[in-house]
Amino acid sequence: MIKWGILGLGNMAQQFSNAILETSNAKLIAVASLNSNRLNNFAKLNKIDNKYKFNSYESLLNYKDIDAVYISTLNNTHAELTIKAAQANKHILCEKPMAIKYEDVIKVFKQLKKSKVFFFEALAYSLHPQINSIISVIKSGEIGKIEKIKSYFGFRLRKIKLDHRLFNKKLGGGAILDLGCYPISFCNIINNINSEENNEIPKISNIKGSICSTGVDEFATAEINYKSGIYAEVGVGIRLNMNNITEIFGSKGKIKIDQFWLPNKKSYFEIQLNDRSYKKFTACSKSIYANQIELVSKYIKNNMIETEYPGISWKNSSINMNLIDKWKNNL
């Protein structure tokens, strides 16, 4: 049984706490927050023993009973806390993005390699059975050779004011930093189907978008070109509704996925061929976050330091942040 602690007690922390109850190999025993009211309320709601409540992240990290930590703090703290967790020999599940600039990613992986602990950037969709089903269809040749990918993830935040963390540049706000890892990582996974260890950093260009009054990008688009010949169009937005559909175009047909980043216990995607179309369903016995915790805990138990393809590898996380940096800095 892997014993977990949580750093940062926002909405995703509650999602984690709910999901871990579905697992058979993981248990939440400790929580930490810099906000005492939030700490006490969360601990009470989730039945955390008082001795496992910590008002500093370092105190939790130094507690020997904890095997792994889930980092769900603000975006701008992810890299620093990942390094501290690795130094404390804790295994790590870190919310995306793992950092807010590429130079911090380099520092993180330097420490991870030294500490030899497990690390996964929490892109849960990459561990869900649906992505394997998509890959199987592509490998079968049913839609032919992959030529193009279009992937968009955007919504309009109507009730959130401009003082929210998503509109705060120092806190790692903006559509590209908060959402860009989804379409970019997905495109990388598809491009790597025939070469899982591909270390290519593709070219990103034709960058367009809009910067809001607080200095963060409110929506953005870009094109990605791979050496394989695959061309991708990606877009994200926090003040612009997008169709939230991903399409993989092949020489014989295409795959169409609605909100690939949030598959559920019975998800499906469409396969559209020249002469017919049909839906392919994928079953999962657990919710997306429970499935993620279960698999990550299994990897930790098996003394692995990263996930297997198509799970987001250390290299994929590094490439993601490299492209996000270029996308954000050239808008």
The CATH code of the domain that includes 72 is 3.40.50.720
- 23 and 151 both lie in a single domain: no
- 87 and 183 both lie in a single domain: no
Phi first, then psi: what are they for 110, rounded to 5°?
-60, -45
Domain assignment of residue 56, yes or no: yes
- 105 and 213 both lie in a single domain: no
Give the Cα separation of 288 and 308 in Å (integer): 17
Domain assignment of residue 300, yes or no: no
Nearest to 6 by CA among 50, 51, 53: 53
pTM to 2 decimals?
Answer: 0.96
Element (H, E) at 78: helix 78-87
- 182 and 82 both lie in a single domain: no
User: Residue 35: its pLDDT value, please?
Assistant: 96
238 contacts 166 by C-beta, under 8 angstroms:
yes
- 223 and 112 both lie in a single domain: no
198 contacts 169 by C-beta, under 8 angstroms:
no
Domain assignment of residue 291, yes or no: no
Domain count for the chain, please give it.
2
Among 64, 99, 123, identify where a domain stops.
123
- 59 and 194 both lie in a single domain: no
Give the Cα separation of 287 and 303 in Å (integer): 25
The first and second tokens of residue 252, run together, are 């014989």
Domain assignment of residue 303, yes or no: no
Q: Who contacts 301 (Cβ-Cβ below 8 Å, separation ≥6)?
A: 2, 25
| pLDDT in single tens digits along all 331 residues of the chain | 999 999 999 999 999 999 999 999 999 999 999 999 999 999 999 999 999 999 999 999 999 999 999 999 999 999 999 999 999 999 999 999 999 999 999 999 999 999 999 999 999 999 999 999 999 999 999 999 999 999 999 998 777 778 788 899 999 999 999 999 999 999 999 999 977 667 789 999 999 999 999 999 999 999 999 999 999 999 999 988 999 999 999 999 999 999 999 999 999 999 999 899 999 999 999 999 999 999 999 999 999 999 999 999 999 999 999 999 999 999 9
Domain assignment of residue 174, yes or no: yes
- 160 and 262 both lie in a single domain: yes
Which CATH number characterizes residue 215's domain? 3.30.360.10
Phi first, then psi: what are they for 7, rounded to 5°?
-105, 115
**Which amino acid is located at 52 in the chain?**
Y
- 104 and 131 both lie in a single domain: no
CA dihedral 144, 150, 153, 158 (to 10 degrees): -140
Give the Cα separation of 282 and 289 in Å (integer): 16
- 46 and 185 both lie in a single domain: no
Among 103, 123, 143, identify where a domain stops.
123
User: Residue 240: its pLDDT value, please?
Assistant: 87
- 135 and 58 both lie in a single domain: no
Give the Cα separation of 118 and 70 in Å (integer): 12
Among 123, 154, 171, identify where a domain stops.
123
Domain assignment of residue 173, yes or no: yes
Nearest to 119 by CA among 144, 99, 93, 142: 93
Domain of 104, in residue numbers: 2-123
Phi first, then psi: what are they for 306, rounded to 5°?
-155, 170
